[in-house]
Structure 1
Amino acid sequence: MSTETAARPRAGALGARAQGLLGQNGTLVALVLLGVVLAFLSPVFLSPQNLLNIGVQAAVVAILAFGQTFVIVSAGIDLSVGSVAALGGIVTGYTASTMGVPPALAILLGVLTGVACGLVSGVLVAYGRLPAFIATLAMLSIARGLALVLSGGVPLNQPPAVAALGQTIGGWLPVPVVIMAVFGLLAGFILNRTYPGRAMYAIGGNEEAARLSGINVRRQQLIIFSLAGFYSAVAGLVLAGRLASGQPQAATGYELDSIAAVVIGGASLAGGQGRAFGTFVGALVLAVIRNGLNLLNVSSFWQQVAIGVVIALAVLTDTLRRRRA
Structure 2
Amino acid sequence: MLVSTNVLQRKPPGRKSPAATWLGENGALVALVVLAVALSLLSGDFLTVTNLLNVGVQAAVTAILAFGATFVIITGGIDLSVGSVAALSAIVLAWTATDAGLPWPLATVIALGVGLACGLVNAALIAYGKLPPFIATLAMLGVARGLALVISQGSPIAMPEAVSHLGDTIGDYLPVPVVVMLIMGLITAVILSRTYTGRAMYAIGGNEEAARLSGINVNRQKLITYALAGLFAAVAGIVLASRLASAQPQAAAGYELDAIAAVVIGGASLSGGKGRAFGTFVGALILAVLRNGLNLLSVSAFWQQVVIGVVIALAVLLDTLRRRGTN
Per the normalisation by structure 2, the TM-score is 0.95
Return closer, same or farther for 1:13/1:260 CA change in 2, 3 Å cut-off: closer
Distance (whole Å) between structure 1 residues aligned to residue 263 and residue 81 of structure 2: 15
Matched, 1:43 2:17: no
Distance (whole Å) between structure 2 residues aligned to residue 63 and residue 131 of structure 1: 24
Give aligned-pair identity as a percent: 68
Matched, 1:170 2:153: no
* Aligned counterpart, 1:278: 279
Return closer, same or farther for 1:36/1:82 CA change in 2, 3 Å cut-off: same
Distance (whole Å) between structure 1 residues aligned to residue 15 and residue 149 of structure 2: 57
Return closer, same or farther for 1:23/1:151 CA change in 2, 3 Å cut-off: same
* Aligned counterpart, 2:159: 158
* Aligned counterpart, 2:107: 106
* Aligned counterpart, 1:316: 317
Matched, 1:304 2:305: yes
Q: Which runs of 5+ in 1 are unaligned?
A: none
Distance (whole Å) between structure 1 residues aligned to residue 93 and residue 142 of structure 2: 19
* Aligned counterpart, 1:211: 212
Could you list the per-position Cα deviations for residues 93-128 of structure 1 after superposition, in whole angstroms to 9, with x for gaps in the alignment?
000010000000011111110000000001001100
Could you list the per-position Cα deviations for residues 248-307 of structure 1 after superposition, in whole angstroms to 9, with x for gaps in the alignment?
000000000000000000000000000010000000000000000000000000000000
* Aligned counterpart, 2:241: 240
Distance (whole Å) between structure 1 residues aligned to residue 276 and residue 126 of structure 2: 23
Distance (whole Å) between structure 2 residues aligned to residue 15 and residue 268 of structure 1: 19
* Aligned counterpart, 1:94: 95
Return closer, same or farther for 1:91/1:179 CA change in 2, 3 Å cut-off: same
Amino acid across the alignment from 2:228: L
Amino acid across the alignment from 2:130: R
Per the normalisation by structure 1, the TM-score is 0.96
* Aligned counterpart, 1:119: 120
Runs of 4+ in 1 over 2 A off after TM superposition: 12-15
Equivalent position SS for 1:214? coil
Distance (whole Å) between structure 2 residues aligned to residue 174 and residue 90 of structure 1: 23
Could you list the per-position Cα deviations for residues 202-250 of structure 1 after superposition, in whole angstroms to 9, with x for gaps in the alignment?
0000000000000000000000000000000000000000000000000
* Aligned counterpart, 2:20: 19
Pairing of 1:134-153 with structure 2 (within 5 A) = 134-153=135-154
Return closer, same or farther for 1:272/1:13 CA change in 2, 3 Å cut-off: closer
Distance (whole Å) between structure 2 residues aligned to residue 157 and residue 174 of structure 1: 21
Distance (whole Å) between structure 2 residues aligned to residue 157 and residue 273 of structure 1: 40
* Aligned counterpart, 2:59: 58
Distance (whole Å) between structure 2 residues aligned to residue 208 and residue 164 of structure 1: 46
Amino acid across the alignment from 2:289: V
Distance (whole Å) between structure 1 residues aligned to residue 163 and residue 79 of structure 2: 25
Equivalent position SS for 2:26? helix
Distance (whole Å) between structure 1 residues aligned to residue 73 and residue 62 of structure 2: 15
Distance (whole Å) between structure 2 residues aligned to residue 164 and residue 92 of structure 1: 14
Amino acid across the alignment from 1:215: I
Matched, 1:33 2:55: no
Return closer, same or farther for 1:176/1:273 CA change in 2, 3 Å cut-off: same
Equivalent position SS for 1:45? coil
Residue 15 of structure 1 and its aligned partner are, at CA, apart by: 5.9
Q: Which runs of 5+ in 2 are unaligned?
A: 1-5
Distance (whole Å) between structure 2 residues aligned to residue 160 and residue 21 of structure 1: 46
Residue 170 of structure 1 and its aligned partner are, at CA, apart by: 1.2
* Aligned counterpart, 2:225: 224
Return closer, same or farther for 1:120/1:13 CA change in 2, 3 Å cut-off: closer
* Aligned counterpart, 1:187: 188
Return closer, same or farther for 1:245/1:128 CA change in 2, 3 Å cut-off: same
